[in-house]
């Protein structure tokens, strides 16, 4: 009898502790304050069984305070032929922490994982839906993945992946047997209180009671400021093939041998066709241009993610037949076409995206999400983006510029930098003649030249119709509210990377007339989005990812019979962020000349500097919006 009693007692104690664990009252007040959701537990446990396999136990419990807080729940788990879901369950708790419902594995929905890019891949999702009848509730979602035959991709720890969601506990734990050599690296730990409990065979980190600041304008990319952990097995398996991740050289050699070698064969007919295309051309770079154009004119990008972990390119001969492929396939194909004419090139793995991210030279692991081609010539090297049908030869643009990438070659590999677009060479020059008529109508003739990274903001205009071009200019020049484009012609120097626009425009009633005067904004092309938001307390540093120069010279012919008494004051500002110079000059024939130069440097700045930068941009905005009053004479 005593035994049974104590058992019951134990059971109820256990039940009690279970029930109250997720009580909303237990969330520290400062985490709960104003939150839509709070992460109670976010735990990743990775157990490496051998060089071939590992498992992931994921548990994420989130208290949700309103409908938009549901975004923090992350109610899906992925699987594929090598990644099996062995456990799947979601438990729902009410505000007091009492279990009110359990969603079992059989109640989960199944769907193809749509990435918005691939036409086909074998990733799938299991997910659950839950309609709460009242808030707050806590959703405790657990799943287990068993990864067979592959230890190349150990899940990374990115505890702050979601902006503005406060965290009670986020934990990463990785265990491994003595036989496996596991190493890891931590990033951006310095500004966070991250606890570590590493021991032989265990890597463990946690973050407790973290208040996550909301997203701020110009904040640096997560990989620059957010903490993360990347782990790897020095000896790994990728879908059955073993390899070493000791250093980049060896790894690149392995990659070449197992994923690239002998995948570059082309049919003889294609080789002959290419040979004919370049016949009579001596210069290797000129040959490469012709071949690159052939690729752009004859292929299209279609992503089909099958094959070895999505890491092996399609055979060049197959891409040749289908004329489509993903980045790996199209890059390998271009490489094969170049090689057929004796031009060697290197397959290069990169983190693509507007926010520059390096392949870490000091930590060898499976990295990168895109592939481009590096072509070395005698006195220069050229980078080719093989998935885009429009960009000029050798132009990478903001997608892959200025970052460290891994070159993969038969003899090994190297970490090298892609082409950079220095701020002082990203130039847009505008030279314009503006005529203001008596009724305020504005007629403008503009010549615009763009180089460097600024080229990519414009060069696609040639493919647009006049309506689309009008929309582009209306967005660019908000002062011209009734802009109509009278003519637009373009010249695209794809070799020198210079884009020229020649535009004629009319904007009715630009000058605001009243009684005996006209109010006129002297810079019709002023932007209105230069000033970033004001924050009572800025919490994060900020970054100007790419700098640029704008140089303008406008000749503004005032309407007949109107005159200007005083020229506005000139402006000259110079600081760590750049320079701004604006000046006005009276010329013959009732004409005012406006000269403007704005140079914004590329840079990474502390949060303390944010207000200075903002004030700089406010001054620029004010100068750009300088108005004058013309009076009838």
Partner 1 sequence: MNKILLFIVLMAFGTAHAQDDKVTFGKVSIPELEQKFYPKDSTAPAAYLYRDVRVYYDYVKSKGFVLMKEVHERIKIYSKEGLEYANQNMRYYVGGNLDEKITNIKGKTYNLNNGVVSTTELSKSGIFDEDMNKYWAQKKIALPNVREGSVVEYKYKLSSPYIRSIDEIPLQYFVPVKYQNVRIEIPEYYVFKPNVKGYLLLEPEITKGRERINFVVSYTGSGRLEGASTTSRSRSVDYATNKMKYIMRDVPALKREPLVNSMRNYLGAIKFELQYTRFPDSPLENYSTSWENVAETIYNDFYKSEIEQQKYFIDALAPKLQGVESDLEKMAIIFNHVKSKMTWNGFESVAVGDGVKKAYQEGKGDVAEINLMLLGMLKYAGLEAYPVLVSTRDNGIPVLPTIHGFNYVVVAVQFDDGVRFLDATSPFSMPNLLPDRALNWYGRVILEDGTSSTVNLIPKYSSKKIINMMVDLTENGDISGRFREQNTNHLAKKTRIEYGIKGETDFVLDLAANYDDIEISNYKIKHLSDLAKAVIQDFEIYKEDQLEVIDGKLYFEPMFFLTTKETPFKSSVRNFPVDFTYPNENKYLININIPEGYKVERLPEATTIALPDNIGSFKFKAQESPTGINVSCTITINQSVIGPNTYPLLQEFFNTIIKKQQERIVLSR
In three state form, how does the secondary structure of 528-580 look?
A: CCCCCCCCCCCCCCEEECCCEEEEEEEEEECCCCEEECCCCCCEEEEECCEEE
For residue 35, the minimal CB distance to partner 1 (Å) is 7
Residue closer to partner 1 by CB (options 68, 491) is 68
Using DSSP, state whether 456 is helix, strand or coil.
Answer: helix
* Closest approach of partner 1 to the CB of residue 327, in Å: 16
Give the nearest distance from C-beta 300 to partner 1 in angstroms.
Answer: 5
Please name which of 411, 446, 415 lies closest in space to residue 432, comparing C-alpha atoms. 446
- Strand 166-175 with 37-48, pairing: parallel
* Conformation bin of residue 327: beta by default, left when phi > 0, alpha when psi is -120 to 50: alpha
* Residue number with CB closer to partner 1 (129 or 262): 129
Q: Which conformational region is residue 394 in: left (phi greater than 0), alpha (psi within -120 to 50 degrees), or beta?
A: left
Shortest Å distance, C-beta 498 to partner 1: 22
Q: Which residues bind partner 1 (CB under 8 A)?
A: 34-36, 65-69, 109-112, 119-120, 131-134, 214, 297-300, 302, 304, 318, 321-324, 389-390, 463, 465, 467, 481, 512, 514, 519, 531, 533-534, 536, 565-566, 618, 621-622, 625, 627-629
If the CB atoms of residues 134 and 496 are measured against partner 1, the closer one turns out to be 134
Tokens in use for 583? 């000046």
Q: Minimum distance from CB of 518 to partner 1 (Å)? A: 12
* Euclidean distance between CA atoms 355 and 221, whole angstroms: 6
Would you state the structure tokens that stand for residue 327, as one six-digit string? 């980045």
CB of 617 vs partner 1, minimal distance in Å:
11
Q: Report how far residue 8's alpha carbon sits from residue 80's, in angstroms, rounded to the nearest whole number.
A: 44
Nearest-approach distance from CB 468 to partner 1, in angstroms? 8
Q: Which is nearer to partner 1, 491 or 627 (CB)?
A: 627
CB nearer partner 1, residue 301 or residue 555: 301
The residue (of 198 and 482) whose beta carbon lies closer to partner 1 is: 482
For the chain, the first-to-last Cα distance in angstroms comes to 111
Residue 356 or 614 having the CB closest to partner 1: 614
Nearer to partner 1, 257 or 321 (CB): 321
How far is Cα 296 from Cα 333, in angstroms, rounded to an integer? 12
Least distance (Å) between residue 464 CB and partner 1: 9
Distance (Å, whole) CA 1 – CA 16 = 23
Name which of 320 and 423 has its Cβ closer to partner 1. Answer: 320
Nearest to 585 by CA among 576, 575, 595, 600: 595
> What is the distance between the alpha carbons of residues 497 and 77, in angstroms, rounded to a whole number?
45
Kindly state the smallest distance separating residue 479's Cβ from partner 1, in Å. 11
Structural tokens at position 561: 């019979």
Handedness of CA 502, 505, 511, 515 (dihedral sign): positive
Q: Spell out the residues 6+ positions from residue 228 whose beta carbon is closer than 8 angstroms to its own.
A: 156, 157, 158, 159, 186, 187, 188, 222
């Amino acid at each position: 009898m005593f035994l049974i009693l104590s058992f019951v007692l134990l059971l109820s104690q256990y039940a009690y502790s279970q029930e109250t664990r997720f009580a909303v009252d237990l969330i520290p007040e400062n985490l709960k304050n104003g939150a839509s959701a709070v992460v109670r537990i976010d735990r990743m446990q990775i157990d490496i069984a051998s060089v071939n396999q590992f498992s992931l136990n994921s548990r994420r419990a989130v208290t949700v305070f309103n409908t938009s807080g549901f975004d923090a729940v992350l109610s899906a788990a992925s699987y594929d032929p090598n990644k099996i879901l062995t456990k799947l369950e979601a438990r729902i708790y009410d505000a007091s922490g009492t279990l009110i419902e359990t969603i079992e594995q059989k109640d989960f929905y199944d769907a193809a994982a749509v990435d918005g890019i691939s036409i086909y891949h074998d990733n799938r999702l299991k997910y659950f839906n839950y309609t709460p009848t009242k808030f707050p509730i806590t959703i405790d979602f657990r799943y287990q993945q068993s990864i067979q035959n592959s230890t190349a991709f150990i899940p990374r720890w990115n505890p702050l992946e979601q902006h503005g969601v406060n965290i009670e506990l986020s934990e990463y734990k990785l265990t491994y047997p003595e036989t496996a050599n596991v190493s890891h690296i931590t990033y951006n730990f310095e500004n966070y209180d991250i606890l570590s409990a590493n021991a032989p065979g265990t890597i463990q980190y946690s973050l407790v009671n973290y208040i996550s600041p909301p997203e701020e304008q110009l904040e640096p990319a997560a990989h620059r400021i957010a903490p993360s952990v990347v782990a790897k097995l020095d000896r790994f398996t990728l879908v059955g093939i073993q390899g070493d991740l000791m250093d980049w050289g060896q790894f690149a050699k392995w990659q070449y041998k197992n994923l690239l070698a002998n995948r570059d064969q082309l049919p003889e007919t294609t080789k002959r066709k290419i040979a004919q295309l370049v016949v009579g051309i001596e210069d290797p770079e000129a040959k490469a241009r012709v071949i690159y154009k052939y690729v752009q004119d004859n292929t299209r990008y279609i992503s089909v993610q099958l094959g070895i972990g999505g890491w092996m390119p399609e055979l060049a001969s197959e891409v040749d037949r289908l004329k489509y492929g993903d980045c790996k396939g199209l890059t390998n194909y271009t490489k094969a076409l170049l090689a057929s004419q004796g031009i060697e090139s290197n397959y290069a793995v990169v983190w693509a995206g507007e926010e520059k991210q390096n392949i870490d030279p000091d930590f060898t692991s499976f990295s990168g999400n895109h592939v481009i081609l590096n072509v070395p010539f005698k006195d220069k090297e050229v980078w080719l983006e093989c998935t885009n049908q429009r960009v000029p030869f050798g132009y990478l643009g903001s997608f892959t510029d200025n970052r460290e990438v891994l070159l993969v070659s038969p003899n090994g590999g190297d970490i090298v930098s892609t082409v950079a677009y220095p701020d002082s060479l990203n130039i847009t020059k505008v030279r314009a003649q503006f005529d203001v008529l008596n009724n305020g109508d504005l007629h403008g003739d503009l010549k615009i030249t763009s180089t460097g990274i600024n080229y990519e903001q414009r060069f696609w205009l040639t493919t647009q119709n006049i309506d689309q071009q009008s929309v582009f200019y209306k967005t660019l020049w908000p002062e011209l509210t009734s802009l109509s484009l009278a003519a637009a012609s373009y010249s695209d120097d794809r070799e020198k990377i210079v884009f020229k626009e020649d535009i004629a425009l009319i904007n009715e009633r630009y000058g605001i007339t009243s009684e005996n005067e006209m109010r006129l904004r002297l810079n019709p092309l002023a932007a209105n989005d230069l000033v970033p938001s004001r924050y009572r307390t800025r919490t994060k540093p900020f970054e100007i990812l790419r700098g640029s120069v704008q140089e303008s010279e406008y000749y503004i012919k005032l309407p007949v019979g109107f005159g200007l008494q005083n020229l506005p004051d000139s402006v000259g500002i110079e600081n760590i962020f750049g320079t701004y110079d604006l000046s006005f000059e009276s010329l013959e024939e009732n004409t005012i000349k406006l000269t403007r130069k704005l140079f914004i440097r590329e840079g990474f700045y502390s949060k303390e500097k944010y207000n200075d930068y903002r004030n700089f941009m406010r001054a620029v905005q004010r100068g750009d919006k300088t108005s004058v009053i013309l009076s009838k004479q």
